[in-house]
Amino acid sequence: MMRTLGLLYFVSVAALGAASVIGALPAAAQDSGTLDKEAAEKVFPAKKPYSPAAGRNFPTRPLFGDTHLHTSFSMDAGAFGARLSPRDAYRFGRGEEVTASSGQLTKLSRPLDFLVVADHSDNMGFFPDLLAGKPGLLADPLGRKWYDMIQSGKGAEAAIDIIVSFGAGKFKGPILYSPDSAPYRSAWQETIDAAEEANEPGRFTAIIGYEWTSNTGGNNLHRNVLFRDNGDRAGQVVPYTVLPPGSDNPRDLWKWMSAYEEKTGGDVLAIAHNGNLSNGIMFPIVEPGVNKPIDREYAETRARWERLYEATQIKGDGEAHPFLSPNDEFANFETWDKGNLDLTVVKTPDMLEFEYARSALKNGLKLEKELGINPYKFGMIGSTDAHTGLAAVEEDNFFGKTSSSEPSAERATHPFVKTEKATIMGWEQTSSGYAAVWATENTRHAIFDAMERRETYATTGPRMAVRFFAGFDFVAADANSRSPAVVGYSKGVPMGGDLTAAPEGKAPTFLVAALKDPIGANLDRYQIVKGWLDAAGEVQEKVYDVAWSGDRKPGANGKVPSVGSTVDVANATWTNTIGAPELVAVWVDPEFDPTQRAFYYGRVLEIPTPRWTAYDAKYFGVKMPPEATMEMQERAYTSPIWYSPAG
């Protein structure tokens, strides 16, 4: 703002000087009096306003939401017992108390700022119609069979048969809700209407969206598709499906997205599902299906449409893996690495590199050098992927992945997925996460625009405020400000941004700041994760502790010791007697090479707190399996900032 005002001042004085040479304006045009230099300076002051907030045009607080929530309109959610509609989901997100599908009352501790009901595009709306006994479905032998089974108390058997039959391609005729069918279009319109009714600019944003569910061979390549637009544009199309006339190839989804924008003049983006259940194909170097290295067209198109990645959710965390990052003591967090989505293929170590955010960011640097563009230049968010209609992932208010895993004494010890090859137990569900967005206002357009510029971060549930700026001119004194964003935006770029061509003799400097969730745990540390492409063309990584609580000192290995723990597992409590309410620092990369491509992102850790399993054990009076995790360190991951050398 100071630069803008200074420019206006310069132009005004120059204009006045020119007027004195070429002659005064006609008297009739000067009916407001005489404008001299002294008067002009009062109108165009040369320094910033006295009021610190005056003139600010940057985001001042993060907005928290969920971009990946399913309701009964998703066929699998309905089969697993979800009975809540998109309208119910939005009511819950806005902070209202609702009755869950399991009959339990539930409410968020605080409303969300935004929400996307992202029901599966394939067979959208089928299950509510089946439960309602719609004549078209009952006229089909399979539809009648399933309806009768549900009515006679055999709903569980019917649900399994429905899922198996759909996967086997047995859905034909009226039970297959193709996008051109009236029941499908009705379900999509109802989804849009629910978002339009819930949307309240400035207070709560309901973003229209859906999930495209490519799952060939059980390998998860799902994407959530979000519209910037209102229903008048989103309603001109129907979601893209995997079954014909759709496709399971991401390239075809991107073509659909391009066609939508050309047809409507609207805007749309896709968010890749966390890749830990893709069995090595979410972030490929060799394109799946064609068995050849990805080309420039693939890289350009993916970078155009997929500017965010869902780094954490209920089906595990996707930031890093201990096999890939053995020197990172915090990499083994809520890890799901047993197989693909349906556990039909067991995971092997060679798959991991192409599933996790950090390794994808590193490979993106290598591909950028080869192709001239980085296909994996994505920002970070978290979301739930809950199939309950409830975006509830606080550890003491966790309503599970599906309605069958809503709070109960048995949910932790019941298998979540079980095959002859592997088992994922109920206790392994992760109570995560939320998307944090630095938007200028709480509206569809502002939130979408922040997502497109990648000014976002992922949180595993807590609503901590996290800032991350990079430039070449930050100094230690900049960390003393109570408003670090003022200097952050004036001297550097925020998370999701780019630095290029370091000035001679300068290394990137980073201004980092984190403020605890007001009703959550204190903070342990703020770390910066760096990845780079070395002189030999190999990718490297390193994790730096840059700010931490207390008077701990880094050891000989450069790592800050553990913050300790105050968790009382038996009583599911902890105290904020360790850690810090905020962390602020300026850090300079001590190993910077201006000729090497690099990325940096922030990771903020809370002190240890009880996990949802500890809260369940206390509430239900049950004993958890010895292998169950009972405490954890919640965290946030910022979008990266990328450095590119000149040329």
pLDDT grade for 621, boundaries at 50, 70 and 90 = very high
Q: Is it the case that residue 180 has pLDDT exceeding 50?
A: yes
How high is the pLDDT of residue 44? 66
Quote the tokens at residue 18.
């020119």
Span 514-573, pLDDT tens digits: 999 999 999 999 999 999 999 999 999 999 999 999 999 999 988 999 999 999 999 999
Average pLDDT, the chain: 92
Give 138: exposed, middle or buried? Use CB within 10 Å, 0-12, 13-18, 19+.
middle
Q: Is it the case that residue 74 has pLDDT exceeding 60?
A: yes
Q: Is it the case that residue 17 has pLDDT exceeding 60?
A: no
Q: How far apart are CA 581 and CA 585, in angstroms?
A: 14
- 529 three-state secondary structure: strand
Span 260-307, pLDDT tens digits: 999 999 999 999 999 999 999 999 999 988 889 999 999 999 999 999
Q: Is it the case that residue 12 has pLDDT exceeding 50?
A: no
Q: How far is CA 155 from the centre of its chain?
A: 34
Q: Over pLDDT 90: what percentage of the chain?
A: 83
188: enclosing H helix or E strand: helix 182-198
Mean pLDDT of 427-435: 97
Q: DSSP assignment of 613-630, as one string?
A: HHHHHHHHT----TTS--
pLDDT grade for 494, boundaries at 50, 70 and 90 = very high
Looking at residue 53, its amino acid is A
Q: Could you tell me if 507 and 600 are in contact, meaning their C-beta atoms sit under 8 angstroms apart?
A: no
* SS3 per-residue string spanning 236-290: CCCCCCCCCCCCCCHHHHHHHHHHHHHHHCCCEEEEECCHHHCCCCCCCCEECCC
How high is the pLDDT of residue 2? 35
User: Per mean pLDDT, which range of 32-41, 165-174, 309-318, 604-613 is the poorest?
Assistant: 32-41
Q: Could you tell me if 199 and 227 are in contact, meaning their C-beta atoms sit under 8 angstroms apart?
A: no
How high is the pLDDT of residue 529? 98
pLDDT grade for 38, boundaries at 50, 70 and 90 = confident
Which long-range contacts (C-beta less than 8 Å, at least 24 apart) are formed by 138-147? Answer: 139/174, 140/173, 140/174, 140/175, 142/170, 142/171, 142/175, 143/174, 143/175
Q: Is it the case that residue 27 has pLDDT exceeding 70?
A: no
Point out which residues pair with 569 in neighbouring strands.
none
Q: How far is CA 620 from the centre of its chain?
A: 32
Tell me the CB-side half-sphere exposure of residue 237, using CA atoms within 13 A: 26
How high is the pLDDT of residue 397? 98
φ/ψ (deg, to 5) at 334: 45, 55
Q: Is it the case that residue 106 has pLDDT exceeding 50?
A: yes
How high is the pLDDT of residue 45? 62
Q: Cα torsion at 279, 332, 629, 525 (round to 10°)? A: -140
Its pTM stands at 0.91
Q: Could you tell me if 331 and 320 are in contact, meaning their C-beta atoms sit under 8 angstroms apart?
A: yes
pLDDT grade for 153, boundaries at 50, 70 and 90 = confident
How high is the pLDDT of residue 24? 38
Mean pLDDT of 464-483: 96
Q: Of 94, 339, 385, whose CA–CA distance to 211 is shortest?
A: 385
Span 365-409, pLDDT tens digits: 999 999 999 999 999 999 999 999 999 999 999 999 999 999 999
How high is the pLDDT of residue 46? 64
User: Per mean pLDDT, which range of 79-83, 359-363, 391-395 is the poorest?
Assistant: 79-83
Q: DSSP assignment of 532-601, as one string?
A: EE-TTS-EEEEEEEEEESTT----TTSPPPP-----BTTTTB--SSSSBSEEEEEEE-TT--TTS-EEEE
